[in-house]
DNA sequence: TAGGCAATTTATAACGTTATAACCCGAGCA
DNA sequence: TGCTCGGGTTATAACGTTATAAATTGCCTA
């Protein structure tokens, strides 16, 4: 596709011939180029598509003319005619917007989509409606050619629906469905496993982990990695109940503070999110305890935040921007017709 | 506009009459409803638009039929015919994506746009191309009906261009242009003024401020508020040179550390961003100094971050989500035809 | 020289919508 | 009776693109 980003072409002030066009210069269409080159609209269309049926010389002539008048195809017309929308919908959950989670991903996605004809459209999912509603809406009304979303669940309704509809999508996180599907995930099992090992290696004997809400698949991955490590090492452990990575920071702080004030308090914390990690730190601080001496903490890092937080804690990095790039990349592949699911899955290593 | 969000209408399995339609049920169009009601396509179109020229009884009948088959207008066709895109473009600078700046705004915008026919499309602006390119592209090719952007400059090219083109937009931040234009801004003058006063009131005698890059209007607002306060109080001050709110956190930390190690070190810091505030805190900590005793810090808060950061610092809140809501709201007004610029401007109080 | 074939180009129709102008029909009036 | 009037409805065309089928041309073969 030779023409998708317009160079800053000058609009020639009197491009058309002596036709009495009212406006000084209208938006150039195929017709404009057809008149300019003396060809038929159809020919111009094909020439711009580099159709080998059109003589090479003609193609070049047409493409030159198009560039000269700064022609860009009308997306609405293309969409109406072909049924393709050139839109990719990112269905965003409000929770994902905290502290740049969604943002890093968006940056990655837009980077990949650059230079393609695709636009990224944010489709918010409001918490007072079922999770699947926006997805249904997009598919039913052909609002997009592909869908991206995250916070995947083991038996995700969206995945089931999209698979059945044969609609291209890539989600962040896996399911436990029998049918394989495209996804990008992070090795959250490994994350908690390594985090626990680190804490134990530095002397912790009672680990405390804050997990994502149970309905998400990565809750189970994280739990599993954690449990494997603590069982291997035979140390005490505790899984936070009543709070999750989605809980409000104040709630987490209060909960953690209560545990820290207790007799058999944990001495090692694992947080899969920056917000809750900050809450653990503030709770610790407020009780006069010290991170690194009284308790240790390993957090998942998804931004540069913890480089500046003091005292410094141990972190394990998840590159969400890379995840976004990958998700968009796989979706492009899928939309281009690649169907072997094996080529459409990726797990980012810890 | 009665129909924009489809309720989850069942697709009646054999809605059409005995016409031999190949697929079991196709996407319903005006034609579908026309056949169903025995009216002409034109009539259906008008009836759905609640055109008073159509008999009230007919309108109701048509709307009922539309709801029954789950009709939603084809956006591409509407767009092609009317020239309206039903799209609002948010032109995002990569810098704005740090720590949720853009994200909070997006949340506000999508909240306002909910229930309207408008979609929010993220148009990234890549730093290797002129700032105005995506804006030109959107206007020239009618990619959207309105534009939102931020990081406004005193003599902003985008504003000038959009004003001249008569294209609806709302920006975050003001210009110093003679022609008034729609904007939403935060009272950054007041922010730095109050921040400085607070620091001085708590005993600071040498203030240090980190400003946004000089090319942005709010650099000047912040500088002015700061200068006014320090002059009124006659205290020492220092304006960071070589670093800005956009500098990388490590750079800021090193710079601040160097100043703190100096003999006449500042004892009060003002940061208009969360990243730089964190950097000031880490620099302070690393030198064995203590926030609240040796130095004080007032930061702008745009998320819940500082509620968890210890030691606690003073912050002044800017509600970016509210800014996003307002920007979208004003843009809707503007696109609906409101032109008195006075009604399209807002400054959020500190 | 007619027929056929390949290489190009073109005409036509269609996607789903809406603006414009035309149509129909009964009521009211001269 | 013929006329206008106006409420209600409809036919037609157009937005810009592309898929399909058709047409044109030159050239080669029978």
Cβ contact A98–B8 (<8 Å): no
Predicted local distance difference test score (pLDDT) of residue B303: 85
What does the alpha-carbon distance between residue A149 and residue A159 come to, in Å, rounded to a whole number?
10
Predicted local distance difference test score (pLDDT) of residue B140: 87
A7 touching B (Cβ < 8 Å): no
Predicted local distance difference test score (pLDDT) of residue B102: 54
Cβ contact B80–A85 (<8 Å): no
Average pLDDT, chain A: 90
Whether A229 and A312 map to the same domain: the answer is yes
Statement: the CB of B78 is under 7 Å from strand C: yes
In which residue are the tokens 């009780």 written? A287
Whether B300 and B328 map to the same domain: the answer is no
Whether B192 and B301 map to the same domain: the answer is yes
Q: Does B346 have pLDDT greater than 70?
A: yes
What strand order describes the sheet that includes A169-172?
A345-348, A183-186, A169-172, A146-150, A87-92, A119-124, B119-124, B87-92, B146-150, B169-172, B183-186, B345-348
CB A269 within 8 A of CB A295: yes
Q: What angle do CA B185, B190, B195 make, to 5 degrees?
A: 125
Predicted local distance difference test score (pLDDT) of residue A103: 75
Q: What CATH number corresponds to the domain at position A282?
A: 3.40.50.2300
Predicted local distance difference test score (pLDDT) of residue A126: 79
Q: Which nucleotide has the shortest C1'-to-CA distance from A84?
A: C15
Region of poorest pLDDT, from A61-70, A87-96, B10-19, B245-254 = B10-19
Give the mean model confidence (pLDDT) for residues B302-313.
92
Predicted local distance difference test score (pLDDT) of residue A100: 55
CA distances from B271 to A267, A276, B223, B252, B314 (A): 35, 24, 12, 11, 11
What does the alpha-carbon distance between residue B157 and residue B166 come to, in Å, rounded to a whole number?
14
What does the alpha-carbon distance between residue B316 and residue B298 come to, in Å, rounded to a whole number?
7
Side-chain-facing half-sphere of B80: CA atoms under 13 Å? 16
- 0.75 surpassed by pTM: yes
Of A76, A98, A136, the CB nearest to B8: A136
CB B186 within 8 A of CB B311: no
Average pLDDT, chain B: 90
Give the mean model confidence (pLDDT) for residues A326-330.
98
Give the mean model confidence (pLDDT) for residues B338-343.
93
The number of residues making up chain A comes to 350
* Upstream peptide bond of A311 is cis (omega within 30 degrees of 0): yes
Rg (CA), chain B: 27
Q: Does A91 have pLDDT greater than 60?
A: yes
Q: Does B22 have pLDDT greater than 50?
A: no
Whether A140 and A260 map to the same domain: the answer is no
Give the minimum alpha-carbon distance from A350 to chain B in angstroms, rounded to a whole number: 22
What does the alpha-carbon distance between residue A188 and residue A323 come to, in Å, rounded to a whole number?
13
Q: Does A167 have pLDDT greater than 60?
A: yes
Q: Does A60 have pLDDT greater than 80?
A: yes
Q: Does B7 have pLDDT greater than 50?
A: no
- Name the helix (H) or strand (E) containing B91: strand B87-92
Q: Does A16 have pLDDT greater than 50?
A: no
Segment B41-69, tens digit of pLDDT = 999 999 999 999 999 999 999 999 999 99
Give the mean model confidence (pLDDT) for residues A222-246.
97
Predicted local distance difference test score (pLDDT) of residue A56: 95
Domain boundary among A37, A56, A73: A73
> Sorting pLDDT into bands at 50, 70 and 90, what band is B141?
confident
Q: What are phi and psi of A121, to 5 degrees?
A: -115, 130
Please give the share of chain A, as a percent, with pLDDT higher than 70: 90
What is the 3-class SS of B148-211, one letter each residue? EEECCCCCCHHHHHHHHHCCCEEEECCCCCCCCCCEEEECHHHHHHHHHHHHHHCCCCEEEEEC
Give the mean model confidence (pLDDT) for residues A162-186.
97
Q: Does A220 have pLDDT greater than 50?
A: yes
Whether A17 and A137 map to the same domain: the answer is no
Whether B216 and B279 map to the same domain: the answer is yes
Q: Does B208 have pLDDT greater than 70?
A: yes
Segment B160-203, tens digit of pLDDT = 999 999 999 999 999 999 999 999 999 999 999 999 999 999 99
A162 touching B (Cβ < 8 Å): no
Following CA atoms A180, A182, A185, A190 in sequence, which dihedral angle do they give, to the nearest 10 degrees? 30
Domain boundary among B39, B73, B107: B73
Q: Which residues lie closer than 8 Å to A322 by C-beta, 6 or more apart? A: A108, A348
Higher-confidence residue of A251 and B97: namely A251
Statement: the CB of B6 is under 7 Å from strand D: no
What does the alpha-carbon distance between residue B168 and residue B148 come to, in Å, rounded to a whole number?
9
Token reading at B300: 């702008």
Domain boundary among A73, A95, A118: A73
> Sorting pLDDT into bands at 50, 70 and 90, what band is B70?
very high
> Sorting pLDDT into bands at 50, 70 and 90, what band is B93?
confident
Count the helices and strands in chain B (H runs, E runs). 12, 11
Q: Which residues 125-154 of A are in CB contact (within 8 Å) with B?
A: 126, 133, 136-137, 140-143
Pairing of strands A169-172, A146-150: parallel
pLDDT winner (highest mean) among B99-103, B123-127, B339-343: B339-343
Closest CA to B206 of B176, B188, B233, B185: B233
Count the helices and strands in chain A (H runs, E runs). 12, 11
Other beta carbons within 10 angstroms of residue A349's beta carbon come to: 7
Region of poorest pLDDT, from B60-64, B111-115, B160-164, B208-212 = B111-115
Continuous H helices in B83-151: 101-113, 133-140
**Best residue in A310, A311, A321 to probe B by mutation, most B CBs within 10 Å?**
A310
Chain B residue closest to A303 (CA)? Answer: B99
Q: Does A337 have pLDDT greater than 50?
A: yes
Region of poorest pLDDT, from A3-12, A298-307, B79-88 = A3-12
Domain that holds residue A110: 82-181+322-348
Q: Does A250 have pLDDT greater than 90?
A: yes
Please give the share of chain B, as a percent, with pLDDT higher than 70: 90
Whether B313 and B326 map to the same domain: the answer is no
Whether B195 and B137 map to the same domain: the answer is no
Whether B343 and B274 map to the same domain: the answer is no
Whether A40 and A103 map to the same domain: the answer is no
What does the alpha-carbon distance between residue A237 and residue A8 come to, in Å, rounded to a whole number?
62
Whether A172 and A265 map to the same domain: the answer is no
Give the count of domains, chain B: 3
Predicted local distance difference test score (pLDDT) of residue A96: 57
> Which residues of chain A form beta strands (DSSP E)?
87-92, 119-124, 146-150, 169-172, 183-186, 206-210, 236-239, 268-271, 296-301, 314-317, 345-348
Predicted local distance difference test score (pLDDT) of residue A339: 87
What does the alpha-carbon distance between residue B174 and residue B170 come to, in Å, rounded to a whole number?
10
Cβ contact B310–A286 (<8 Å): yes
CB B188 within 8 A of CB B323: no
Predicted local distance difference test score (pLDDT) of residue B186: 98
Q: What CATH number corresponds to the domain at position A66?
A: 1.10.260
Other beta carbons within 10 angstroms of residue B272's beta carbon come to: 28
Whether A172 and A112 map to the same domain: the answer is yes
């Amino acid at each position: 596709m030779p023409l998708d980003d317009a160079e800053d072409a000058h609009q020639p002030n009197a491009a058309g011939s002596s036709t009495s066009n009212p406006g000084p210069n209208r938006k150039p269409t195929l017709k404009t180029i057809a008149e300019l080159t003396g060809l038929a609209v159809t020919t111009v269309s094909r020439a711009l598509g580099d159709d080998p049926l059109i003589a090479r010389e003609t193609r070049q002539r047409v493409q030159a003319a198009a560039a000269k008048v700064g022609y860009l195809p009308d997306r609405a017309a293309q969409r109406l005619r072909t049924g393709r929308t050139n839109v990719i919908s990112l269905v965003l959950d409000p929770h994902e917007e905290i502290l740049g989670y969604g943002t890093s991903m968006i940056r990655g996605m837009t980077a990949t989509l650059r230079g393609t004809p695709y636009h990224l459209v944010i489709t918010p999912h409001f918490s007072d409606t079922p999770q699947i509603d926006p997805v249904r809406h997009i598919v039913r009304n052909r609002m997009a050619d592909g869908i991206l979303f995250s916070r995947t669940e083991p038996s995700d309704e969206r995945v089931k629906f999209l698979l059945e509809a044969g609609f291209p999508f890539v989600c962040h996180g896996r399911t436990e469905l029998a049918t394989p599907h495209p996804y990008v995930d992070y090795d959250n099992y490994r994350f908690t496993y390594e985090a626990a090992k680190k804490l134990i290696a530095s002397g912790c004997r009672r680990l405390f982990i804050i997990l994502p809400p149970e309905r998400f698949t990565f809750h189970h991955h994280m739990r599993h990695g954690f449990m494997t490590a603590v069982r291997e090492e035979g140390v005490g452990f505790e899984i936070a109940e009543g709070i999750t990575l989605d809980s409000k920071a104040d709630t987490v702080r209060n909960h953690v503070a209560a545990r820290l004030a207790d007799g058999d308090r944990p001495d090692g914390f694992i947080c899969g999110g920056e917000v809750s990690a900050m809450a653990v730190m503030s709770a610790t601080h407020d009780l006069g305890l010290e991170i690194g001496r009284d308790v240790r903490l390993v957090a998942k890092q998804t931004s540069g935040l913890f480089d500046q937080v003091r005292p410094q804690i141990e972190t394990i990095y998840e590159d969400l921007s890379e995840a976004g790039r990958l998700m968009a990349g796989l979706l492009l592949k899928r939309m281009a017709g690649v169907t072997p699911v094996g080529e459409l899955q990726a797990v980012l290593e810890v």
